Amino acid sequence: MSKPTNTDDLHATTRGVLAGRRAEWTGTPDHPGAVVNPPVWRASTHLYPEMAALRAHPANQDGNFYYGRRGGPTQWALAEALTELEPGAAGTVLYPSGVAAIAGVLLTVLRPGDVLLMTDNAYEPSRAMGRGLLKDFGIETRWFDPTSPSSFEAGCCERTKAVLLESPGSLTMEVQDVPALAAAAKARGIVSILDNTWASAIGFAALRHGVDITVMSLTKHVSGHSDCMMGSASAGADWYRKLRLRAQGLGNVVSPDDASLMLRGLRTMKLRLDAETASALAIAQWLESRPEVARVLCPMLPGSPGHDLWLRDFTGGCGLFSFVLKRGTSAARDALIDALDLFGIGYSWGGFESLATPVDPAPIRTASAWPLAAMEPSDAFGIRLSIGLEHTADLIADLEQALAVWAAYGEVA
């Protein structure tokens, strides 16, 4: 199969089918018997036919056989597919997890003495990096209110080197004005990094919106099957090169078996995202109509915080959103989650199966109140749902009976 020359003109679904399937990775050129998917090339050692070939080998050229830690065709195919899905990207680096990707990017961009600005609704392990890993290396982290440009400006100083954005943010789902924040960062010479795990490149074209480096936990939607972990960072040529060299220096490598699973997930990601998004919106609308529910935090839901920015900037949604119960207790919320039959209780999200977890972000925040802390009643308890591929009506029926268990817990005034 010859590779189309300008895949940027094709729709995301088409690119998702074609990407990363170079003839030299899926067959033996000029011989019949090519396969559809790049096979799993398991290797630590790549052999050279003779000494002259070893001596002639270009030092650290991207995408060339060298040694297993630099990857092989299976990993290159996944990286190339992700690059093709991210308009404006020159390359993609793979990491063993999403957290490893965030750490790899921050350790590429930041130096001792630098300041990192981080959105206050960032994924908790990202926050922990600011408090621990980065602090230990002499890098200071400051947090800013995700939806306040003035909080971002106030957090900047002459030592600010990078900003870590996440939109919608973990747990509370505020959508950030990423184009405005990325432009403000650029004007100050600050590198902008986005955790784009929620929308993925299919739902939000990060680099096209001005971001310098975009990160995804592939564990979520690219895998889509809750059986594999990986992370990625995509960027333009300058940052891509620096990220690749730093990742090599840190010894980051992903297994070809896992890369093959990720490629398999990637082929159906757009369909899964579309199905989940439609189901999540219907469930969010149903929850909004329920007397037990104080507030639904879902960017796709009209009237929800961030909906206008989501409409303006995004080309898709996903099945992850949160809602807040009226009053109640932590125990009543536990009873609700325990009563759910179709929702698993567990971390992660973006798989084909639905999940529910409790959400209590207020104690985590440092630069902004959880928007709901100001809400009446102040003792609201949140639940985060990851909507999978079960039928929407079945999920709603399950939530309905679990809400009845919650109400019967005796905590509703």
Ligand X SMILES: *Cc1c(COP(=O)(O)O)cnc(C)c1O
Active site residues: 69, 123, 195, 220
Closer Cβ to ligand X, 98 or 317, answer by number: 98
Instruction: Please tell me whether residue 98 binds ligand X under the rule CB under 6 A.
Output: yes
In this chain, which of 86, 114, 177, 195 binds ligand X, going by CB under 6 A? Answer: 195
Is 250 in contact with 282 (CB distance < 8 Å)? no
Instruction: Please tell me whether residue 231 binds ligand X under the rule CB under 6 A.
Output: yes
Instruction: Please tell me whether residue 361 binds ligand X under the rule CB under 6 A.
Output: no
Q: Both tokens of residue 302?
A: 């009209």
Closer Cβ to ligand X, 99 or 287, answer by number: 99
Instruction: Please tell me whether residue 219 binds ligand X under the rule CB under 6 A.
Output: yes
In this chain, which of 170, 172, 200, 232 binds ligand X, going by CB under 6 A? Answer: 170
In this chain, which of 77, 99, 173, 301 binds ligand X, going by CB under 6 A? Answer: 99
Instruction: Please tell me whether residue 223 binds ligand X under the rule CB under 6 A.
Output: no
Three-class secondary structure of residue 289 per DSSP: coil
Instruction: Please tell me whether residue 255 binds ligand X under the rule CB under 6 A.
Output: no
Asked, as a colleague might, if the bond just before 58 is cis with ω within 30 of 0, I would say no
Q: Measured from the CB of residue 399, what is the shortest distance to ligand X in angstroms? A: 22
**What is the number of the residue whose Cβ is closest to ligand X?**
98
Distance CA 56, CA 54 (A): 5
In this chain, which of 83, 92, 119, 217 binds ligand X, going by CB under 6 A? Answer: 217
Instruction: Please tell me whether residue 258 binds ligand X under the rule CB under 6 A.
Output: no
Closer Cβ to ligand X, 82 or 229, answer by number: 229
User: What distances in angstroms separate CA 99 from CA 103, 144, 273, 294, one per listed residue?
Assistant: 6, 21, 22, 32
Instruction: Please tell me whether residue 174 binds ligand X under the rule CB under 6 A.
Output: no
User: Cα–Cα–Cα angle for 28, 31, 33, nearest 5°?
Assistant: 80
- Nearest one of 202, 201, 203, 204 to 92, comparing CA atoms: 201
DSSP conformational letter for 407 = I
The residues near 204 (Cβ < 8 Å, ≥ 6 apart) are 167, 178, 196, 313, 314, 315, 316
Q: Which residue do the tokens 């989650």 mark?
A: 337
Closer Cβ to ligand X, 220 or 295, answer by number: 220
Distance CA 338, CA 332 (A): 10
Instruction: Please tell me whether residue 265 binds ligand X under the rule CB under 6 A.
Output: no
Half-sphere exposure of 25 (CA within 13 A, CB side): 29
Distance CA 294, CA 248 (A): 48
Q: Measured from the CB of residue 100, what is the shortest distance to ligand X in angstroms? A: 7
Q: Which residue do the tokens 């003779």 mark?
A: 50
Instruction: Please tell me whether residue 229 binds ligand X under the rule CB under 6 A.
Output: yes
φ and ψ of 186, to 5 deg: -60, -40
Closer Cβ to ligand X, 167 or 260, answer by number: 167
In this chain, which of 123, 144, 204, 314 binds ligand X, going by CB under 6 A? Answer: 123
Q: Measured from the CB of residue 223, what is the shortest distance to ligand X in angstroms? A: 9
Distance CA 411, CA 4 (A): 61
Instruction: Please tell me whether residue 277 binds ligand X under the rule CB under 6 A.
Output: no
**Interface with ligand X in residues 322-351 (CB under 6 A):** none
Q: Both tokens of residue 58?
A: 């270009």
Interacting residue ranges for ligand X, rule: CB under 6 A: 97-99, 123, 166, 170, 195, 197, 217, 219-220, 229, 231
